[in-house]
Structure 1
């Protein structure tokens, strides 16, 4: 029998410790058993084995073991050892076992199935389990060795794991998990020279590592003699279940889809059907109705083809099938008849699916989702293998329930982000107040008072679309003009076919409206034009289109050019709105990403809302931080970020500009306010607002500076390509200049800085500003 060894260069076992095959430890073990219980029925068999070995002194000598070693002359002796160690029911063709050299990956006696599973074409031993690194195996081997030395020579009570889980592919293609146990009871550890002393108490208290033992007890001091018993047990079911348990326990929103895919790969193994595919789809509920999440349908056999409308249609059909029939739907052979009975199977032939099964996953009579099994082989699937899922089914229920919780959390995050002000940085205080409320006896409870945060520093920033109202007015005027011209041309063409005085009157009004359209659209003019088109033009043209076949092509051409939902030409307004949305979306996405970044340095409240552009207010201070100590360095850091981020936004919108259908430019504005204020939560508006007369002054300034002019010039403070910084005190200007200088050194801002005085605003005076240009092409 050939010695199976791992690749010789993989572990270099020969250089670690001397190890030889020896039958002596086994014979000594038998002698001890005879001495312990002479009346044992197996005593005569043990004596027969001992006599057999001792009659041949060569068998009592250590035997070197290499891949070239020929152990055929010991075949009879190895058969005796196997008969003594393994039960009589062991089958060499179906059972998995082997006898190996201590410490080394070298097996010199093994069953046929062991060779088939644990060697590459019968040549080299597969020593490194799938998913485990060679370094980890080496570490485990040296740990095993020292625990053996400590147990055998120092008699330390050792508890060490001899099991290794191998992932293998069986001859039938099934993925298997095999637990390999290496039993060292027939191994003696010999000492070369004198054995060093080792204090057990010291050993335990300091938790000496194998790396330390390599220095204290180098392996070259020892020699191993004997053999180890390799026994292998199929643990595919238990390992698959453990893996799915781990997937469920560790499933988060970030790895949800990957967790499902991993579970889907394990299900064919559990069923013993390696050539099929499995698909899990959860059916969570939103407002009491089951919904389908797009992330789960991309590879689904039923729902993975077609547009969203078809997917929803098929989803409703499948849901109805599963709700009305809790038993598995088995289609052994997918054909026209089965598709006619179940239309949601329509696309299975396109995916080459010839056999199909759908199992509803239910809990408390509610459908949580479904498990689909698919095969390209007709009649491959039936109900019979499903009994193997009896231990897996509860885990699938847990997984689908976990998905329901994940979706609920995502919905809550969206609601919290989009509709409430309870960001994590301030949520702790609301939770604290709610807990105090719950601790109060019901008959003593009062409404929770206003929740406030005192002595917080505000940072306000605004990115505005320059001349947005003018651009919007132009878009409206151009749409009205385009439609009025279209109406005029259509009425003239109709007048050539039929004669109706009413058409002449409508044409007169149309031309009159066209003459009234100017570059500056008068207030209310668009309403008059729309009313005219809606109540006078639309009914007439609609009637003529339906009642006159000759005019129908002309009028259908008219209706094709107007927006069906709006009822009139909307092209220029849509281009303007798309351009505005593109800019605002880019700014919002950048600020959302930055919001997460700035929270890492110190907790702060970040409120963002859209106007024509995007505005935000940040509050930072000790009262917002739950446990972290506040220092002014965090405020200064945030102000520097504010200036730097405004420069980034200016470059971002400048880069987007040429891609827009309507050219739009942005202006950037910052308000410097160095005095702390108090904010409180307004339950009616679900947002924070300032408190106190002095604090309200800050809010007034914030609302009135967006269109402020430079004193005595009539020039707007905010200009495209620049950042304007409004302040009240010299110390605020000096701080801003430090940040400007720093960003200029990085060539983010241009060298020139303007110091400006601002016109007086209603209720506010004495404001000043700095203005600096942004370098639109900074160095990389």
Structure 2
């Protein structure tokens, strides 16, 4: 029996009374029908010397004096036949008062230990007081306030596992009566109270402490809801937890799993799965063990399990269970490595369950025990109720982690190509795992020993074409202005008009002689600041010339207020070329990445440039071989042919006629590239490697040595190189493309004029064979080349 004063205050005086049971016995005794009447009379005789049983006991300690008599009084409510099955006791509802336990409840209480304090979970003084007030409103005043919510007792068993029992009350034997201290409750009071649950002082004003009498007793039944409650707690913890850290995952969640499985030494772990790289790795959750990895950080998936076991988890998404690790080792000769790994950690039974989201394996939840048989294929099925909540939480955590990673990459680096994303992610995760320390510097990203490829399709003479379009627009506008001013001068013989006609004729002559660097700005300022204000003046004061002035202004571009026809056509043509060729290259790149991952970037200028970098440091998890570089070079040459062909089909519909030239730069020495934090881009690293950048920037404007002829030419691809071996390699590619009817049979070869600090460059130049037919989606591989060349040699 527990102390009555469990809460600080109450609206009730408690009188533990059996008056309703005694009244029922009196009715049975008066019936005088059968043996029950005799039994009732006997009980009434035994209780007669103890009027407190009817009037009410205020000191719970007195209950011990009447223990046997109370047992007999409540025999019909507590059948002996059910005492070992039912978990039940007499009680005062919501108070910490229980007595007359069934044998099963007594056993549960004894196993809980002497230090256990029996109290309702999450039930505080405030809630207790108001619930008592609601009992009064419902029982005495006839209201129907629904204050019920699931109530639980959390009681440990003999092994320390926390069990959760749902509380069910029967208050049929309780009576609530007012005292002289009680306050009469009006309808207005009830309306006020129902809107002020949190105002405890108001409730105490309407229901003063101990102003009502609670007389009688209730019956409390316990329902073992350990699994349901534990799952509910798990959901609550996962929802409110800000993070999956050591305390949250290993502490609270581990206790919950122990309650569900009834295994006191059960431990949980988690291992992240990266199926793309075929590895298991330590999850980025602080302090959570991985029993698969033990002390390691990552391991190849195939190195952990044999084929069938791995297939069960990764492909079939089913559990992997070992109920007896020692027995498993004895009975599986060839597949005991992982079992021995578990046994070395003291694990003798385990369940490994895949966490699947959108049909993708995120990781493996590990349940392990030091006792054989505790975890098995039968109780593994309990995970079906739990895993959805864990999956959502861990997926949510990974999403948040990804957001942090992306935020760091975007802020400290830039948007980057997916082939090198892993390197940036590693650095971002390192920073996050250091607690986002503001004093921790971000490491520069460097890739060493990689091979560069550079190519460009450049709009030939774009600067000249841009100047020509500007000249055409300016001449057209000046001619229109001259026509307009001459017309106005006929009407208004003003010397100022004559002055402007003279200045405009002068400007027209200068433009036709050749546009100077500042000519465009000078003419635009003159027209906008002097000519247009004058026309606007005449337009407002001379109605007869309004239509002519209005017609002139209608010919101007709405934004720049100048004639912008040729320049607009030029800009549109350049934009169409850049956009279309960039799309072709990007689409081809998706295919090229399948050969071997490599870094790719492209730029739209007056044409489209691209950089490719390939090497082992960019894809360290994949074996690198020089054939991948050769394959990429062949792909690049074919991609340039396709882009030229696309331009050929595009050219007739362009609003401004432009020509393009194509160039590839071959560089066989490996270089290093470093991500420049200040510029948010990759650049070559080191003085020697800078030679490559110098050549890249100047090569397309170079001439054939000893001539004034550019190395690039319309309708041709120029391949610049420096070593004989490079020439031999590219002649093989050209021969292959000739066989495929992509390039002409003629091959030009020449030396390139010396650049600043760079000499000895040579070039091959090949002519394209254009076709208006739809370009094949197939890009031939290096293997195709070898096969084709072998066939050619045989046919010879």
The TM-score range, normalised by the shorter chain, is: 0.3 to 0.5
TM-score by length of 1: 0.46
Which has more radius of gyration? 2
